[in-house]
A and B are shown apart, each in its own frame.
Chain A
Amino acid sequence: MSQDTSAKLLNKDEFRAALEDAIKGREAKNASFSMAWANGDLKREHFARWAENHYHYVGPFADYLGYIYANTPDHATDAKDFLLQNMYEEELSDVRHTDLLMRFAEACGTTQERVMDPKNMNAVTRGLQGWCYAVAMREHFTVATAALVVGLESQVPSIYRKQLPPLIEKYGFTEEEVEFFDLHITSDEVHGERGYQIVLDYADTPELQQRCLDIVRAGAEMRFSYTKALYDNYVAPDLVGA
């Protein structure tokens, strides 16, 4: 990771704009798998492979947040509350989010056993999951929040707003089957916004701001690579000789 040691402390508006810029050009909604999804080019078995990978990235999300929580100092009460609330919302406040993912997976023709089996994720997904754990455990809580909430989670509404309509209109799923996407369009708007606020409030030195920017860039690249790898592993081989 590069660090610009000559950087000055940005005000909140400048810092927010820089965080948003760090994602630009790397948005997962523009990766090949997302484009094929939105264009109606995928088959149900491709969505099944997506679910078998996605479970291993988002399934432990509350675990990642738990590690960040443990690294957050007592005085950062609003940051701790945000993490606790986010964990609670992932697991308990509504339908458990992974249960909705499982419902979609089964509608695509795969099984709970296959989805939960880590052998069914590809190497890039394994890398993304490992990166999430490593960042959550090892980084300053502000940097880790920037990575996982700003870099990854805040992208979700823009991805799923593009992907939900074709699931119903082109691929023929019911609203019930795709509730996982509907839920995340809105819940991650709020998680993303509160995440931004934590990062804006607690990245209070030029060095911390720079680390946040670097890791948001890295996170966006990780999610883009993960999404592209789904296409490379499962869709492209189907096109050979087609």
Chain B
Amino acid sequence: MPTIRFLTSECAVQFPDGDDVNMLRVAIRNDCGVPYKCASGNCGTDRVLVTEGAEHLSPPRKRERDRLGDLLDQGWRLACQVYASGDCAVQWDPEQKPLDANAVDKSLPNSVDDRIKQKWLSKKDTE
């Protein structure tokens, strides 16, 4: 069976022969730790450097080309936009942020999550 290797988190996920699978969906389902925000190719938070198996990935469509530009030629892809049909390996910076300031402004700020937790969780829950 083909395998996606998420090198940064040392996670490897197999999928059935003949399938093609969305890379970010696989990462979320298997807790592989790829950072993401919008999941629609806008912010670029989920960019990954493909170190092996680029030929087994779906060709980039408009949103990915628009967001990555020259980074595509350097081997970067957006995990949310990519479908894998064979073995491949990717890595990323665990601390990476969205690709530009506009995207940052349009993404849900992390502070919202903290505010929601403060509002809805009791002190006991958060300790």
Q: Is B80's CB under 8 angstroms from A190's CB?
A: yes
Within residues 73 to 127 of chain B, which ones have a CB less than 8 A from any CB in chain A? Answer: 80-81, 106-108, 112-113, 116-117, 120-121, 125
Smallest Cβ distance from B109 to chain A, in angstroms?
10
Query: Which residues of chain A are near B116, meaning CB under 8 Å?
Result: 77, 80-81, 84
A63 lies within 8 A of chain B by Cβ: no
* Chain A, residue nearest B23 (CB): A189
Contact-residue bracket for chain B:
20 to 34
Smallest Cβ distance from A132 to chain B, in angstroms?
22
Q: Mark A165-178, 1 if CB is under 8 A from B, else 0.
A: 00000000001100
A219 lies within 8 A of chain B by Cβ: no
Smallest Cβ distance from A183 to chain B, in angstroms?
5
A205 lies within 8 A of chain B by Cβ: no
Known: A77-B120, A179-B62, A193-B29. Is A93-B107 also a contact (CB below 8 A)? yes
Within residues 21 to 71 of chain B, which ones have a CB less than 8 A from any CB in chain A? Answer: 22, 24-25, 28-29, 36-43, 61-63
Rounded to whole angstroms, the CA-CA distance of A111 and B62 in the bound complex is 25
Within residues 64 to 94 of chain A, which ones have a CB less than 8 A from any CB in chain B? Answer: 74-75, 77, 80-81, 84-85, 88-89, 92-94
Query: Which residues of chain B are near A196, meaning CB under 8 Å?
Result: 29
* Chain A, residue nearest B107 (CB): A93
Rounded to whole angstroms, the CA-CA distance of A191 and B43 in the bound complex is 16
Smallest Cβ distance from A231 to chain B, in angstroms?
27
Q: Is B38's CB under 8 angstroms from A189's CB?
A: no
Q: Is A190's CB under 8 angstroms from B36's CB?
A: yes
Q: Mark A188-207, 1 if CB is under 8 A from B, else 0.
A: 01111110110000000000
Q: List 11 A-B contacts (CB under 8 A).
A: A77-B120, A77-B121, A80-B116, A81-B116, A88-B108, A89-B39, A93-B38, A94-B42, A179-B63, A193-B29, A196-B29
A residues at B contact (CB < 8 Å): 74-75, 77, 80-81, 84-85, 88-89, 92-94, 157, 175-176, 179, 182-183, 186-187, 189-194, 196-197
7 extra interchain contacts, Cβ-Cβ under 8 A, other than A77-B116, A183-B40, A190-B36? Answer: A75-B125, A89-B38, A93-B38, A157-B22, A186-B22, A186-B63, A192-B25
